[in-house]
């Protein structure tokens, strides 16, 4: 066997409620998947085809701490339901899509909104605004065997106790099985892939010292301190 020429990096992983850890392969994120959020970002919420961007697997962070990132003065919270795949494939039919889900967790798609905006205006890729270190705080993964497939119920984010984002999972424009099916037409999905399913309205900035509390019906709450 060929030896690595530098030390191999550890596999990014997220703790699983009940024990063990979920090794992360890829992270896909859908944009504008709740109509009210699409409107607040200046877009038409009609059901045009979904679009996705990616974060890095190592951007997931279950530590409960979010270090304020460099080179930005406008870092926003986006409260999201994360979907963890136990298997994958290509051209997955919608009606079989949920068979590939291992579980779900509460997550945050933290965004350097100022940098994302500059990239949008220039027609450039979004990574600098989205795929930075610690940009995806995440709670424990709840296996489907324990909680089923959440498709409705409140998703809410409070900052320092004040309600900032409040919606319902049922308001997703593209549902979880549809996202899996669509992604599998363009990518080969596999065990270890994670999908962030979009955010309801009310995104806004955070500052050092803020405490973000994300609650999603049926899942453990996620508390993250901005450091
Ligand atoms: Mn998002």
pLDDT digits (tens, 9 = 90+) for 100-139: 999 999 999 999 999 999 999 999 999 999 999 999 999 9
Residue 16 domain-assigned (yes or no): no
- Asked whether 219 and 150 are in contact (CB, 8 A), the reply is yes
**Quick check: 47 pLDDT over 80?**
no
Write down the pTM of the prediction: 0.97
List the single range of 42-56, 63-77, 209-223 with lowest mean pLDDT. Answer: 42-56
Q: Which of 129, 126, 157 is nearest to 70 (CA)?
A: 129
Q: What pLDDT does residue 43 have?
A: 85
Instruction: Return the H-helix or E-strand segment holding 119.
Output: helix 113-122
Mean pLDDT of 155-167: 98
Residue 11 domain-assigned (yes or no): no
Q: How far is the CA of 33 from the centre of ligand 1 (A)?
A: 8
Q: How far is the CA of 166 from the centre of ligand 1 (A)?
A: 14
Residue 72 domain-assigned (yes or no): yes
Residue 8 domain-assigned (yes or no): no
**Quick check: 208 pLDDT over 90?**
yes
Q: What CATH number does residue 43 fall under? A: 3.90.850.10
Residue 3 domain-assigned (yes or no): no
Calculate what percentage of the chain has a pLDDT beyond 90.
91
Q: Which of 221, 218, 187 is nearest to 50 (CA)?
A: 187
Q: How far is the CA of 5 from the centre of ligand 1 (A)?
A: 36
Residues with CB under 5 A from ligand 1 (ion): 78, 109, 199
Q: How far is the CA of 4 from the centre of ligand 1 (A)?
A: 35
Residue 4 domain-assigned (yes or no): no
> What is the 3 state secondary structure string of 17-46?
CCCCEEECCEEEEECCCEHHHHHHCCCCCC
**Quick check: 46 pLDDT over 80?**
no
Calculate what percentage of the chain has a pLDDT beyond 70.
100
Residue 7 domain-assigned (yes or no): no
**Quick check: 181 pLDDT over 90?**
yes
- Asked whether 222 and 19 are in contact (CB, 8 A), the reply is no
Mean pLDDT of 140-161: 98
Q: What pLDDT does residue 37 have?
A: 80
Q: How far is the CA of 222 from the centre of ligand 1 (A)?
A: 16
Q: How far is the CA of 196 from the centre of ligand 1 (A)?
A: 7
Across the chain, mean pLDDT equals 96
Which domain, by its residues, includes 177? Answer: 21-226
Q: What pLDDT does residue 57 have?
A: 98
Of the pLDDT bands very low, low, confident and very high (cuts 50, 70, 90), residue 15 is very high
Residue found under tokens 């450091």? 227
* Secondary structure class of 209 (helix, strand, coil): coil
Residue 121 domain-assigned (yes or no): yes
Mean pLDDT of 69-85: 98
What total of structural domains would you count in the chain? 1
Q: What pLDDT does residue 40 have?
A: 86
Phi/psi for 71 (5° steps) reads: 65, 25
Q: How far is the CA of 95 from the centre of ligand 1 (A)?
A: 25
Q: How far is the CA of 78 from the centre of ligand 1 (A)?
A: 5
């Amino acid at each position: 066997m060929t030896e690595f020429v530098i030390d191999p990096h550890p596999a990014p992983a997220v703790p699983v409620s009940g024990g063990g850890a979920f090794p992360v392969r890829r992270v896909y994120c859908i944009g504008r998947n709740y109509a009210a959020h699409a409107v607040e970002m200046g877009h038409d919420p009609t059901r045009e085809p979904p679009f996705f961007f990616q974060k890095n697997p190592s951007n997931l962070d279950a530590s409960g701490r979010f270090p304020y990132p460099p080179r930005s003065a406008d870092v926003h919270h986006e409260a999201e339901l994360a979907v963890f795949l136990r298997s994958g494939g290509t051209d997955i039919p919608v009606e079989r899509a949920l068979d590939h889900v291992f579980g779900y967790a509460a997550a945050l798609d933290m965004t350097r909104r100022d940098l994302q905006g500059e990239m949008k205006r220039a027609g450039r890729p979004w990574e600098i605004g989205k795929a930075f270190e610690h940009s995806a705080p995440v709670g424990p993964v709840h296996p489907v065997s324990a909680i089923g497939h959440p498709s409705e119920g409140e998703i809410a984010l409070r900052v320092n106790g004040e309600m900032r984002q409040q919606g319902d999972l049922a308001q997703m424009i593209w549902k979880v099985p549809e996202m899996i099916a669509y992604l599998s037409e363009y990518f080969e999905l596999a065990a270890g892939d994670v999908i962030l399913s979009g955010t309801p309205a009310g995104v806004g900035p955070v500052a050092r010292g803020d405490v973000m509390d994300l609650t999603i019906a049926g899942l453990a709450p996620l508390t993250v301190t901005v450091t």
